[in-house]
Amino acid sequence: MSRSYFIGSEPYTKRSIDGHAKGGQAGYVAAMNEFQLSLPCATCGHDMEIFAGSPLAQAAIASVTEQGWVHSKCGDPEPS
């Protein structure tokens, strides 16, 4: 049994599904380039991504907090 999928009142076509997938991938890549945080591995130097909620993210938060970073409106934005 075949299913019909719609965008509003228009049915999806193979081309619209492919275009949606390509557009979604392009948007994902653009967002990763703009928002993803990474740092080099201390052993090999390759990038390690920092995922929200991960142990690495928690360590980064603890380090930044310990160093005294603050909002720019709250004072010197870089620790002395």
Question: For the segment 16-46, what is each residue's pLDDT rounded down to a tens digit?
Answer: 667 777 778 888 888 888 888 889 999 999 9
Residues in the chain: 80
Mapped onto helix, strand or coil, the DSSP state of residue 71 is: coil
The confidence band for 5, taking pLDDT boundaries of 50, 70 and 90, is: low
Integer Cα distance of 79 and 14 in angstroms: 54
25, 35 in Cβ contact below 8 A? Answer: no
Using the Cα atoms of residue 64, residue 66, residue 59 and residue 48 in order, give the sign of their dihedral: positive
Across the range 63-79, mean pLDDT stands at 80
User: What is the structure's pLDDT at 66?
Assistant: 93
Residue 25, classed as helix, strand or coil, is helix
Domain boundaries along the sequence of the chain: 1-35, 38-80
Query: What band does 78 get if pLDDT is binned at 50, 70 and 90?
Result: low
At residue 25, what is the residue type? Q
pTM: 0.52
